[in-house]
A and B are shown apart, each in its own frame.
Chain A
């Protein structure tokens, strides 16, 4: 860890700033991809006015949101109402700190980054819940309560499913998990059951279709975001897409080798070039999973609340527990 010793706090400040800045183009790109891909899948053309093939559409949306009036309801709990979008956004942005983008390109290479990540990303539910509460609106409250129920339920299979990877690799550090995968192959091969559980639970965790009950437009207007307007709504919207990127990135890190190429990493690439090479593979794999999520949004209908809960407790949790047991048994018996 010579790097961190040399650069110290300066590196930390720089990294956090860069990551915060990174959320903006990331959200813009994903929102554009979503607009365009869903349109194509619905036999429409999609955005095609702003810039070539409409690539600046989502940026224009962002500026539009900046120019909107920011309304606070009369009866709202003002400080909490104001802070809630910030909490949701910061939960997403802070969890980016531990994502290993490439060799040497990780802001906070902790030995317990897995724990840190799932602790921080779980904080967003607090933001959603208080947003729903502070809005003084029944739809908002319903959305907030739904988000609490959903996220707390899915936290459990989500966390249990990665314990399999953690047992297998014997570490809580994302970079060391990737190192393990360099030697033993991608973890998805070892965790054929754990991966789908993680994928479904993470989709529910970030409120993506088909688990978007939290802001089900056709049922509860926009859920917790009903009373939000202007840039505060923009923060929620941003956080949702940043969370999608982060979850895809973590999925890639845990199960698909992170910044590893599908073939052995060329040894002659080191330093800056190696980082670029790793970044390319990380981004490629992450955006493939982002696209799959968008694909799912264009395909799957929203599931019911009882189905949502039943799935978490009756299907995912037992499967995750069995997976955990089998993984642990295999590790002990074969002394991996």
Chain B
């Protein structure tokens, strides 16, 4: 038996208690959540510098995934249809590699120039032979190739894959690990995130510092072609704001000094390379 109006009083009691209860709002970006070490953020396939998915259906990820969450199917580089679990649907329709994996006529590559780079195959053969095609020498071989060409030409990598009988996915994956370039050096593209979170937490100051440091505005390139600057609201670094992307690597949260330091590193590397090229 409830008295008339007791429900209303109960409601008033709840709101009154809530008045003093702990609040659930998080004061982002002043108060950052503690992010667990194994946090992976939004899961997405990684793109290579040519704008294509790096996934080559090598199943390395599926094999190491402890909860077997990864399934895929497709054609490997040898043209064999391979399947690990349920057919992959994600992003297949827009991915040029998906055309190839599905056995359809490939869409034109976005950067066909990469296929036209002739390499000195004798040089690559000698190089591989010098290391006796040992797999652990792969990175050393990459280093030698990059020292000669300034980057890792696709055809050289294909040749290395054939000569060393290492799966193309593994060769390509190792080349993408860092320190190696897959395109001729055309300067670095620096993208400063202009999303609300980044701008709020100092992104504008970061951009201003970079503009001053490089002497260019967004959308321009430096005179020597080493850097070009642009902004995008979709660097999408989330908790790492203010964020900046150099080519494909995302850095953040950054102060203006840290950003200058990153630019300085790139400058030194470029200077060293140009000295080496001049000597050879």
Chain A residues engaging chain B, CB cutoff 8 angstroms: 37, 40-45, 295-296, 298-300
Q: In the complex the two chains form, what is the Cα distance from A42 to B12 in whole Å?
A: 12
Q: Which of B12-50 contact A (CB under 8 A)?
A: 12, 14-16, 18-19, 21-25, 27
What would be 27 A-B contacts, judged by CB atoms less than 8 Å apart? A37-B19, A40-B18, A40-B23, A41-B15, A41-B18, A41-B19, A42-B18, A43-B18, A43-B21, A43-B22, A43-B23, A43-B25, A44-B24, A44-B25, A45-B23, A45-B25, A45-B27, A295-B15, A295-B16, A296-B12, A298-B15, A299-B8, A299-B11, A299-B12, A299-B14, A299-B15, A300-B8
Chain B residues engaging chain A, CB cutoff 8 angstroms: 8, 11-12, 14-16, 18-19, 21-25, 27
Contacts of B19 in A (CB 8 A): 37, 40-41
Q: In the complex the two chains form, what is the Cα distance from A148 to B12 in whole Å?
A: 29
Contacts of A42 in B (CB 8 A): 18
What are the 9 A-B residue pairs with the smallest beta carbon separation, nearest first? A41-B15, A45-B25, A299-B15, A299-B11, A41-B18, A43-B24, A298-B15, A40-B19, A44-B25
CB-CB nearest in chain A for B17: A41
Given contacts A37-B19, A40-B23, A43-B25, 16 further A-B contacts (CB under 8 A): A41-B15, A42-B18, A43-B18, A43-B21, A43-B22, A43-B23, A43-B24, A44-B23, A44-B25, A45-B25, A45-B27, A295-B15, A296-B12, A299-B11, A299-B12, A300-B8
Contacts of A45 in B (CB 8 A): 23, 25, 27
CB-CB under 8 A for A300 and B18, given A43-B23, A44-B24, A45-B23: no
Contacts of A43 in B (CB 8 A): 18, 21-25
Contacts of A300 in B (CB 8 A): 8, 11
CB-CB nearest in chain A for B14: A299
Q: In the complex the two chains form, what is the Cα distance from A298 to B19 in whole Å?
A: 10
CB-CB nearest in chain A for B10: A299
Q: In the complex the two chains form, what is the Cα distance from A40 to B22 in whole Å?
A: 9
| Closest beta carbon of chain A to B28's beta carbon, Å | 12
| Closest beta carbon of chain B to A156's beta carbon, Å | 22
| Closest beta carbon of chain A to B31's beta carbon, Å | 11
Q: In the complex the two chains form, what is the Cα distance from A299 to B11 in whole Å?
A: 6
Q: In the complex the two chains form, what is the Cα distance from A41 to B8 in whole Å?
A: 15
Q: In the complex the two chains form, what is the Cα distance from A45 to B22 in whole Å?
A: 10
| Closest beta carbon of chain A to B9's beta carbon, Å | 10
Contacts of A299 in B (CB 8 A): 8, 11-12, 14-15
Q: In the complex the two chains form, what is the Cα distance from A295 to B16 in whole Å?
A: 8
Q: In the complex the two chains form, what is the Cα distance from A298 to B21 in whole Å?
A: 15
Q: In the complex the two chains form, what is the Cα distance from A300 to B24 in whole Å?
A: 22
Q: In the complex the two chains form, what is the Cα distance from A271 to B78 in whole Å?
A: 100
Q: In the complex the two chains form, what is the Cα distance from A188 to B121 in whole Å?
A: 101
Contacts of B8 in A (CB 8 A): 299-300
Q: In the complex the two chains form, what is the Cα distance from A37 to B23 in whole Å?
A: 12
Q: In the complex the two chains form, what is the Cα distance from A296 to B15 in whole Å?
A: 9
| Closest beta carbon of chain B to A308's beta carbon, Å | 16
| Closest beta carbon of chain A to B220's beta carbon, Å | 35
| Closest beta carbon of chain B to A34's beta carbon, Å | 13
| Closest beta carbon of chain A to B30's beta carbon, Å | 10
